[in-house]
Amino acid sequence: MTTTTVAPRKPWKATKADLYPVFGALALAAILDYAVVAVTPMKGKLAYVLLFFIFGAGFQMALKWRALGRRAAVDSLAASVAIAGAVIAFTPVISLLLTTIVKGAKGIYPGFFYHDMSVANYQSPLNQGGVVQAIVGTLYLIILATAISLPLSILTALYLTEIRGKASGFIQFLVQAMSGIPSVVAGIFIYSALLLTTSLRGSTIMAALALAILMIPTVTRTAQEVLLLVPQDLREAGLALGATQWKTVATIVVPAARNGLITAVILGVARIAGETAPLLFTLGVSNKINWNPFSGGQSALPYYVWSGLGDGTELGIDRAWSGILVLLMLVLTLFVVARVFGTRKVKIK
Amino acid sequence: METRAKMSTENSPQTNSLAGVAAARVREPGTAPLGSGLEARGVHAWFGSHLALENVSLDFAAGTVTALIGPSGCGKSTFIRTLNRMHEFIPSAAMAGEVLLDGKDIYAAGTDVTRVRLQIGMVFQKPNPFPSMTIGENVLAGLKLAQIKHDGNKDDLLEECLTRAGLWNEVKDRLGAHAGGLSGGQQQRLCIARSLAVNPKVLLMDEPCSALDPGSTLRIEDTISQLSKTMTIVIVTHNMQQAARVSDYTAFFLADGGPGQMIEVGPTNEMFSRPKDQRTENYVSGRFG
């Protein structure tokens, strides 16, 4: 067998020589932008951003027009608009993240992760107390709410996509309607249905039930869409081998939709992880770790943040920011773990 | 050994008949004034670090039909996709070499890739008419997509394209119907008509008949013969009778455990009657692959 000495190239990728005019045009746009803002009545950050976009997109269009003609220029304008849309959409998100990191970092010290709030209150100096009880509480809530809602959601989605029973239309309607429930209503429902009428007291499991009500429609809808994407051919192939419907669904359809189902769970967890309102009526209160999810009050990160803001003092608000930062890190970690362990590696030749 | 000898005798009449079919339609290359055709020079293709196609140099003279044959996974489809820059849509893809259309490298810096694909059309393995468009809209979709101003009458162009694709009589009364209602063979001929409307110099066909019944296949082969008077055609096929029936030249590809390579190319009748390479002989006589 001969070995090749030819180097692979990607002639379709922009080369450095292609990029110099692009960056040159952007630099020119920035200079022109600055000059126009300086001499005209248009002032302020918004004027800078808007004019930079107009000049930048205009220059790119002119470059493309010169090189490849009108069609390429219009193409370049569409790309500029898409880029601008993405920038506009992500600016608040990035700003929010940076603000949280900057403000939250103030209250973070190692003890923040292993002290609880029984040794401090919201007005204590920032090197006292911590959120370990709230981290444990939030993890408990996420795990329990997922454990309750995941089987129900997947089974509902399977009923809607695989069994397609007579009640499908009605259940579909209920799932739609449920996704519109305000989160505080879920909390009030559990409070009035279970806590007010019985001797039960607020605990982790009660709050998890309220969160599950919110999680079920999100996971069901997403799981349903994902299951519908599994080609009908695969179901037929399974059935044509003599499999029952249950075996076909369990061994072919669900595994084929696996990555999408993990996305469904991630979206569900994202829906509930930061919820505060349902916890107010159902969680009880604790400033220490409570390892028992079935009795006694519990803490949670959103609840900690809410209390810190409610405290209103400078130290309380600093603590709230740190709580938000920890919550973001926790959720991010969970998502990364779900993706890494949940995604099947597909081998590409 | 005895079995093999027997097989060989059984196969030889078939080989001869294929060569006979091919000999009936030998044509000198470049008889039509269609420019200088398409030339691949030392084309390599990679997916990530995997070399899928190694050093293929092949000329497609203007106005000829070239069939690419070979077993699955030998790089035929990869090669045909490098000819109109569709290869680069695969994220890890890379290539080396040149593809010249009328003497100009389509991979050269500053090339308008949309114009390349306008001149080098493609028909895919699976018929893919646009589902939201009617039959008529599908045929003329290329004009809209490539933003071409058509000087003449659009109805005439519609009729001309559908006639050349051999579909006009079947659909002339329902041009406003949705394309999804057509049969597989009709959909594929609709896709051919669609690619003709923008008047390409070269038409690439990647196993266009593999999902079709023999009747539809025959009609598409007739279409190819008609089209070859006015354009250069490259067709990937697993059907050796088809290669013999429609092509002037045949290229045999093979991936012998390594990257795909072109083993041999020649006039179709020679490739089927007296190939130079033993591996080609084995393949065309049906001894493997």
- In tens, the pLDDT along A60-76 reads 999 999 888 888 899 99
- Ordered strands of the B104-105 beta sheet: B50-60, B38-47, B93-101, B104-105
Distance between B44 CA and the closest CA of chain A, angstroms: 8
- At residue A183, the pLDDT reads 93
- For B220, other C-beta atoms within 10 Å of its C-beta total 24
The DSSP-derived string for A274-304 is: T--HHHHHHS---SS----TTSS----HHHH
- In this structure, are A331 and A199 located in the same domain? yes
Distance between A82 CA and the closest CA of chain B, angstroms: 19
**Mean pLDDT calculated for residue range A117-133:** 88
Q: Is the predicted pLDDT of residue B28 greater than 50, yes or no?
A: no
Nearest to A160 by CA among A223, A218, A216, A213: A223
By C-alpha distance, the chain A residue nearest B50 is A349
How many Cβ contacts (< 8 angstroms) between chains A and B?
51
For B59, the token pair is 């000329």
Q: Does the CB of A3 have a partner CB in chain B at under 8 Å?
A: no
- At residue B6, the pLDDT reads 41
Q: How far is it, in rounded angstroms, from Cα A284 to Cα A190? A: 13
- Out of B92, B110, B259, closest to residue A67 by CB: B110
Are residues B257 and A1, on separate chains, in Cβ contact within 8 Å?
yes
Q: Is the predicted pLDDT of residue B23 greater than 60, yes or no?
A: no
Reported ipTM? 0.73
- At residue B33, the pLDDT reads 47
CATH of the domain at A323: 1.10.3720.10
Are residues B48 and A348, on separate chains, in Cβ contact within 8 Å?
yes
Q: Does the CB of A69 have a partner CB in chain B at under 8 Å?
A: yes
- At residue A80, the pLDDT reads 94
- At residue A6, the pLDDT reads 85
Are residues A71 and B114, on separate chains, in Cβ contact within 8 Å?
yes
- In this structure, are A91 and A123 located in the same domain? no
Q: Does the CB of B94 have a partner CB in chain A at under 8 Å?
A: yes
Instruction: Evaluate whether residue A92 is within a structural domain.
Output: yes
- At residue B27, the pLDDT reads 44
Are residues A2 and B54, on separate chains, in Cβ contact within 8 Å?
yes
- At residue A202, the pLDDT reads 87
- At residue A347, the pLDDT reads 47
- At residue A276, the pLDDT reads 92
Q: Does the CB of B148 have a partner CB in chain A at under 8 Å?
A: no
**Mean pLDDT calculated for residue range B149-171:** 90
- For A90, other C-beta atoms within 10 Å of its C-beta total 11
Write phi, then psi, for A35 (nearest 5 degrees).
-65, -45
Domain ranges of chain B: 2-284
> What CATH number does the domain located at B2-284 have?
3.40.50.300
Under the banding of pLDDT at 50, 70 and 90, the label for residue B95 is very high
For A255, the token pair is 């595994």
Give the whole-number percent of chain B exceeding pLDDT 90: 63
Instruction: Evaluate whether residue A215 is within a structural domain.
Output: yes
**Mean pLDDT calculated for residue range B249-261:** 92
- In this structure, are A127 and A83 located in the same domain? no
Q: Does the CB of A347 have a partner CB in chain B at under 8 Å?
A: no
Q: Residue A304 sits in which domain range?
A: 117-342
Structural domain ending residue among the three candidates A82, A105, A128? A105
Under the banding of pLDDT at 50, 70 and 90, the label for residue B244 is very high
Write phi, then psi, for B253 (nearest 5 degrees).
-110, 150
Distance between B112 CA and the closest CA of chain A, angstroms: 6
Nearest to B170 by CA among B185, B180, B157: B185
Are residues B51 and A4, on separate chains, in Cβ contact within 8 Å?
yes
Distance between B96 CA and the closest CA of chain A, angstroms: 5
Domain total in chain A: 2
Tell me the chain B residues in contact with residue A71 when contact means C-beta distances shorter than 8 Å.
114, 146-147
- In this structure, are A160 and A262 located in the same domain? yes
- At residue A346, the pLDDT reads 53
- Out of B94, B256, B258, closest to residue A8 by CB: B94
Nearest to B255 by CA among B52, B58, B82: B52
Q: How far is it, in rounded angstroms, from Cα A126 to Cα A111? A: 10
Q: Does the CB of A349 have a partner CB in chain B at under 8 Å?
A: yes
Are residues A4 and B54, on separate chains, in Cβ contact within 8 Å?
yes
For A307, the token pair is 């209390």
Lowest mean pLDDT among A187-191, A262-266, B11-15, B153-157: B11-15
The 8-class DSSP code of residue B179 comes to G
- Out of A18, A71, A348, closest to residue B147 by CB: A71
- At residue B12, the pLDDT reads 43
Are residues B44 and A8, on separate chains, in Cβ contact within 8 Å?
yes
By C-alpha distance, the chain B residue nearest A7 is B96
Q: How far is it, in rounded angstroms, from Cα B201 to Cα A198? A: 81
Tell me the chain B residues in contact with residue A4 when contact means C-beta distances shorter than 8 Å.
44, 51, 54-55, 259
Q: Whole-number mean pLDDT of chain A?
A: 90
- The secondary structure element, H or E, covering residue A240 is helix A232-240
Tell me the chain B residues in contact with residue A79 when contact means C-beta distances shorter than 8 Å.
none
Nearest to B113 by CA among A39, A10, A93: A10
- Out of B50, B95, B258, closest to residue A9 by CB: B95
Q: Is the predicted pLDDT of residue B82 greater than 90, yes or no?
A: yes
Distance between A11 CA and the closest CA of chain B, angstroms: 6
Instruction: Evaluate whether residue A171 is within a structural domain.
Output: yes
Lowest mean pLDDT among A187-201, A333-347, B6-20, B124-138: B6-20
Tell me the chain A residues in contact with residue B146 when contact means C-beta distances shorter than 8 Å.
71
Going through chain B in order, the beta strands assigned E by DSSP cover 38-47, 50-60, 65-69, 93-101, 104-105, 120-123, 202-206, 232-236, 249-254, 261-267
- Out of B44, B50, B113, closest to residue A349 by CB: B50
Q: What is the CA radius of gyration of chain B?
A: 19
Under the banding of pLDDT at 50, 70 and 90, the label for residue B11 is very low
Q: Note the pLDDT tens digit of each residue in A273-291.
A: 999 999 998 998 888 899 9
Lowest mean pLDDT among A339-348, B141-150, B218-227, B274-283: A339-348
Q: Note the pLDDT tens digit of each residue in A153-180.
A: 999 999 999 999 899 999 999 999 999 9
- At residue B10, the pLDDT reads 40
Q: Does the CB of B72 have a partner CB in chain A at under 8 Å?
A: no
Q: Is the predicted pLDDT of residue A14 greater than 70, yes or no?
A: yes
Under the banding of pLDDT at 50, 70 and 90, the label for residue A219 is very high
CA dihedral sign of residues B72, B75, B80, B82: positive
Q: Does the CB of A93 have a partner CB in chain B at under 8 Å?
A: no
Q: Does the CB of A14 have a partner CB in chain B at under 8 Å?
A: no
Are residues A8 and B96, on separate chains, in Cβ contact within 8 Å?
yes
Instruction: Evaluate whether residue A7 is within a structural domain.
Output: no
The DSSP-derived string for B59-111 is: EE-TT-EEEEE-STTSSHHHHHHHTTT-GGGSTTEEEEEEEEETTEETTSTT-
Q: How far is it, in rounded angstroms, from Cα B51 to Cα B45? A: 6
Instruction: Evaluate whether residue A263 is within a structural domain.
Output: yes
Q: How far is it, in rounded angstroms, from Cα A61 to Cα A53? A: 12
Give the whole-number percent of chain A exceeding pLDDT 70: 97
Instruction: Evaluate whether residue A112 is within a structural domain.
Output: no
Tell me the chain B residues in contact with residue A69 when contact means C-beta distances shorter than 8 Å.
112
Distance between B141 CA and the closest CA of chain A, angstroms: 16
Are residues B109 and A15, on separate chains, in Cβ contact within 8 Å?
yes
The DSSP-derived string for A142-190 is: HHHHHHHHHHHHHHHHHIIIII--TTHHHHHHHHHHHTT--HHHHHHHH
Distance between A22 CA and the closest CA of chain B, angstroms: 14
The Cα angle at residue A272 between residues A268 and A276, in degrees rounded to 5: 170
Structural domain ending residue among the three candidates A105, A131, A146? A105
Nearest to B272 by CA among B264, B261, B263, B281: B281
Under the banding of pLDDT at 50, 70 and 90, the label for residue A184 is very high
Instruction: Evaluate whether residue A9 is within a structural domain.
Output: no
Contact status, residue A337 vs residue A262, Cβ threshold 8 Å: no
- In this structure, are A245 and A96 located in the same domain? no
Structural domain ending residue among the three candidates A52, A76, A105? A105
- At residue B256, the pLDDT reads 84
Under the banding of pLDDT at 50, 70 and 90, the label for residue B25 is very low
**Mean pLDDT calculated for residue range A235-239:** 93
Q: Note the pLDDT tens digit of each residue in A78-123.
A: 999 999 999 999 999 999 999 999 999 998 999 999 998 888 888 8
Are residues A10 and B93, on separate chains, in Cβ contact within 8 Å?
yes
Are residues B114 and A72, on separate chains, in Cβ contact within 8 Å?
yes
Q: Does the CB of B23 have a partner CB in chain A at under 8 Å?
A: no
